[in-house]
Amino acid sequence: MFFVNVPVGLALLAALPATVAAHPRPGGKGRPRVDVLGALTVTAATGSLVYGLVTAGDEGWGSAETLVPLAAAMVLYVAFALVERTVRSPLMHVGMLKRRPVAVGAFLMLVGSGLLISLFFLGSLYLQHLRQLSALETGLLFLPAALATGAGAHLASRLVGRLGIRPVAATGLALVAIGTGLLTRLSADGGVLTELLPGLVIAAAGVGPVFVTATVSALAYVDHGEEGLASGVINTFHELGGAIGVATASTLAVAGLTGAPSIGGFTDAFTATAVAAAAAALLALVLVPPGKPQMSGTPHSH
């Protein structure tokens, strides 16, 4: 599975010089310096955060093994923000998060990525560890959810211009809450098609609009030439959300993964996911600015 990426990456690498022009930087400036210090601090911060979340499942939330990595992560994130304010070519323009639309877009991307990836993570473990399905059967069962995500994103891209970002984002998150709420009723021996697929498809359909509104919110209100900076912020929160989502889901579902697999851990994890999605939907009604975005060009999609 991982080897598939190698020839694809090599082919793209070989095609880049012939397809992408090497434009000189404005003002005759040279190549930007690689922000090594920023990359090291944000990677260490995220690694420490994920480690602390995973350790909580074994050691408890009040243990030193959990609290120390989490505290270190907060310190490192602050250090990362300070580094980004001082280096010449920052990895991420943290100052853009002061703008409400960009901050809202980052929040929606963080939540959407965490919800989607944790859903697929939990679903795959449920099907393979508890229900003893093969990887191929599990992948085929996820196809309707993947199609639902694309359909939800396509519909949202049309509705954002008519209704605005706030109602579309809140509705998407509400659908995720409803879908994951249905998944809390999974059993250890019930029909997979009737118990898993409805909730998974509804939740996946709701995540699509969250991704669209996150990207539109961040990019529709920035000046021309800042799209790349805003996109960098959004993609950073996309990766961070996925890491936090999987770490949290695995921590909550640990009872269903260790020893003899049981349904209890999965129920707890899906319940927490549903609560998080519902809370995010309510926050979206407050945090997302009202009104319709004024897109200067073609809307960007996730």
Q: What is the pLDDT of residues 222-270, one digit of tens each?
A: 777 677 777 777 888 888 888 888 888 877 777 656 666 678 888 888 9
The 10s digit of each residue's pLDDT in 10-33 is 999 999 888 887 765 555 555 667
Strands of the chain, DSSP E: none
Residues 277-302, mean pLDDT to the nearest whole number: 73
Angle 265-266-272 (CA atoms, 0-180°, nearest 5)?
A: 95
Alpha-carbon distances of 255 from 82, 112, 149, 290, rounded to whole Å? 39, 25, 29, 42
Burial degree of 125 (CB within 10 A; 0-12, 13-18, 19+): buried
Specify the pLDDT at position 257.
64
Least confident of 117-126, 194-203, 212-221: 212-221
Place of tokens 């996946």: 204
Options 1.20.1250.20, 3.40.50.2000, 3.90.1150.10, 1.20.210.10; which CATH number does 92-287 get? 1.20.1250.20
pLDDT(301) > 50: no
252-to-78, 96, 156, 176 alpha-carbon distances in Å: 27, 33, 31, 18
Which amino acid, one-letter code, is at 229? L
Q: What is the pLDDT of residue 81?
A: 87
Residue 262 has φ and ψ, to the nearest 5°, of: -135, 160
User: Which among 207, 215, 197, 214 has a CA at the least distance from the CA of 245?
Assistant: 207
Cα 104 from chain centroid (whole Å): 14
Contact 122, 116 (CB under 8 A): no
The average confidence (pLDDT) of the chain is 84
Alpha helices in 164-226 (DSSP H): 165-183, 192-195, 197-219
289 pLDDT band, cuts 50/70/90, is confident
How many H helices and E strands in the chain?
11, 0
Question: Would you kindly state where each structural domain of the chain is located, as residue ranges?
Answer: 32-91, 92-287
Looking at the chain, the whole-number percentage of residues with pLDDT higher than 90 is: 35
pLDDT band at 297 (very low <50, low <70, confident <90, very high): very low
Q: Is there a contact between 208 and 156 (Cβ–Cβ < 8 Å)?
A: yes
pLDDT, tens digit, 9 for 90 and up, residues 27-83: 555 566 777 888 899 889 988 988 888 787 677 778 888 899 999 999 999 999 898
129 or 284, greater pLDDT: 284
Q: What is the pLDDT of residue 155?
A: 93
